[in-house]
């Protein structure tokens, strides 16, 4: 497969191990979660897409074919699981926008869900990729909530991610090591506790 | 709606607040989880049923109708969430069998999943209802794993649940207070730590 790079060169994609242009954020997170699972680091899964089934044909008892169904609005985030005994919960979104992350990308009840998770002692956050720069940010749930509660804006500027978020590096394996950021944040939390 | 009771009397179901014959375990757990959510006790959801979508008709951009899809075998359990900062994960099953819980009711990878959850510091368990007696048991994941690893049986006898499990009472609200059992187990754990 040939990939057009901005400078006009064409490169065979199979040779680009560290770049992931054209690879979706969802795919990157899924392979990362597989890595975490296989290497006994964490157990984190993407939840199935919620679907309302209306009509099912039963060819045989084991062989059901869904003939009519509709996508439902999710009430929670897409990913959750356990890491070092702690509850992990996040939503991942990519945007082509160069300067803003439009909040229309996340449902209101998903934001409420992240807030609840934090209130119950879980680790809730957002992963946002700005595809134009191929930059993936980790934004702590508390910072997301604080932005939404203190702003009337319908988007979060990239500067907020630069200031309050952390960049998740894209590597070979694990592809998108977001748990490393959690470790860093925990260490910083411990450090600030020691200082205060 | 009239319900036939074993002694032959017929009772209008709407009057029986505390019985739940005819009500499914899944429904009972869902209303319990709603209660936990509304009363700020825990955030626990049932995961959507995993479905592979094959054909979708797009009437309009927002109006997609799934025309062909299939049920997938789940790789995890049905329920998970957070309670007091801890990761909660369980599977719930009912059986009409009077003396055994057939292990065919749980997929092998669901059992492996529960094992992994425990290894990563989460709380994994099984809720089994014997519908004939209308008795609902909480079985700690470690006891489930230990039974499976030490037996070649394809079912768990009810005596094992009586001995190693805990009965979850059916009440008005919360309908099926399984988190109470987790509190009890934690207390017992602390108690045995103090003794040893």
Which residue out of B47, B87, B189 would a mutagenesis test of the A interface target, given it has the greatest number of A Cβ atoms within 10 Å? B87
Q: Could you count the other beta carbons within 10 Å of the beta carbon of residue B2? A: 7
CA distance A82 to A180: 14
On the question of pLDDT at A131 being above 70, the answer is yes
Chain A residues within 8 A of B84 when measuring between CB atoms: 120-121
The pLDDT tens digits of the residues spanning A4-60 come to 444 444 433 333 333 444 469 999 999 999 999 999 999 999 999 999 999 999 877
Q: What is the pLDDT of residue B23?
A: 67
Give which of B90, B120, B80, B190 is closest to A85, Cα–Cα.
Answer: B120
Q: What is the pLDDT of residue A61?
A: 61
Q: Is A86 left (phi over 0), alpha (psi -120 to 50) or beta?
A: beta
How far away is chain B from the Cα of A107, in angstroms, using its nearest Cα? 15
Give which of A23, A77, A71, A5 is closest to A46, Cα–Cα.
Answer: A77
Radius of gyration, alpha carbons of chain B: 19
The pLDDT tens digits of the residues spanning B159-191 come to 999 999 999 999 999 999 999 999 999 998 876
Who's near B51: CB < 8 A, 6+ residues apart?
Answer: A48, A49, A51, A53, A66, A69, B69, B70, B71, B72
CA distance B32 to A31: 34
Q: What is the pLDDT of residue B24?
A: 93
Chain B residues within 8 A of A48 when measuring between CB atoms: 47-51, 72
Q: What is the pLDDT of residue A175?
A: 96
Q: What is the DSSP string of A18-75?
A: S--TTS-HHHHHHHHHHHHHHTTS-EEEEPPPPEEEEEEEEEETTEEEEEEEEEPPPS
Report CA-CA distances (Å) from B173 to A98, B13, B23, B113, B166.
Answer: 50, 17, 15, 30, 19
How far away is chain A from the Cα of B88, in angstroms, using its nearest Cα? 8
Chain A residues within 8 A of B86 when measuring between CB atoms: 85, 87, 121
Q: What is the pLDDT of residue B52?
A: 93
Report CA-CA distances (Å) from B188 to A119, B182, B192, B193.
Answer: 26, 10, 6, 8
Cα nearest neighbour of A55 on chain B: B67
Give which of A136, A144, A29 is closest to A79, Cα–Cα.
Answer: A29
Give the closest of A50, A89, A119 to B48, CB-based: A50
pTM of the entire structure? 0.85
**B48/A47 CB distance under 8 A:** yes
**B86/A121 CB distance under 8 A:** yes
The pLDDT tens digits of the residues spanning B112-126 come to 999 999 999 999 999
The pLDDT tens digits of the residues spanning A63-94 come to 899 999 999 988 899 999 999 999 999 999 99
**Beta-carbon pairs below 8 A across chains A and B:** 112
How far away is chain A from the Cα of B79, in angstroms, using its nearest Cα? 11
How far away is chain B from the Cα of A144, in angstroms, using its nearest Cα? 19
**Cβ proximity of B87 and B141 under 8 Å:** no
To the nearest whole number, what is the mean pLDDT of chain A?
87
Please provide residue B161's backbone torsions phi and psi, each rounded to the nearest 5 degrees.
-65, -40
Chain B residues within 8 A of A79 when measuring between CB atoms: none
Q: What is the DSSP letter of B9?
A: -
Give which of A112, A182, A108 is closest to A140, Cα–Cα.
Answer: A182
Alpha carbon distance, N-terminus to C-terminus of chain B: 55
On the question of pLDDT at B21 being above 60, the answer is no
Q: What is the pLDDT of residue B58?
A: 84
């Amino acid at each position: 497969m040939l990939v057009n790079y901005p400078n006009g060169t064409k490169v065979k994609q199979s040779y680009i191990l560290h770049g992931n242009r054209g690879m979706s954020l969802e795919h990157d997170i899924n392979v990362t979660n597989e890595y975490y699972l296989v290497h006994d680091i964490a157990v984190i899964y993407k939840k199935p897409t919620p679907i309302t089934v209306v009509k099912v044909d039963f060819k045989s008892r084991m062989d059901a074919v869904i003939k009519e169904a509709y996508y439902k609005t999710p009430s929670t985030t897409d990913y959750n699981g356990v890491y070092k005994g702690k509850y992990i919960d996040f939503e991942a979104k990519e945007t082509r926008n160069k300067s803003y992350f439009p909040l229309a990308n996340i449902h209101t009840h998903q934001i409420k869900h992240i807030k609840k998770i934090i209130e119950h002692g879980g680790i809730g956050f957002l992963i946002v990729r700005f595809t134009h720069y191929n930059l993936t940010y980790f934004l702590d749930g508390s910072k997301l909530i604080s932005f939404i509660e203190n702003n009337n804006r319908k988007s979060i500027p990239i500067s907020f991610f630069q200031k309050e978020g952390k960049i998740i590096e894209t590597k070979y394996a694990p592809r998108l090591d977001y748990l490393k950021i959690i470790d860093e944040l925990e260490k910083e939390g411990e450090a600030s506790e020691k200082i205060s």
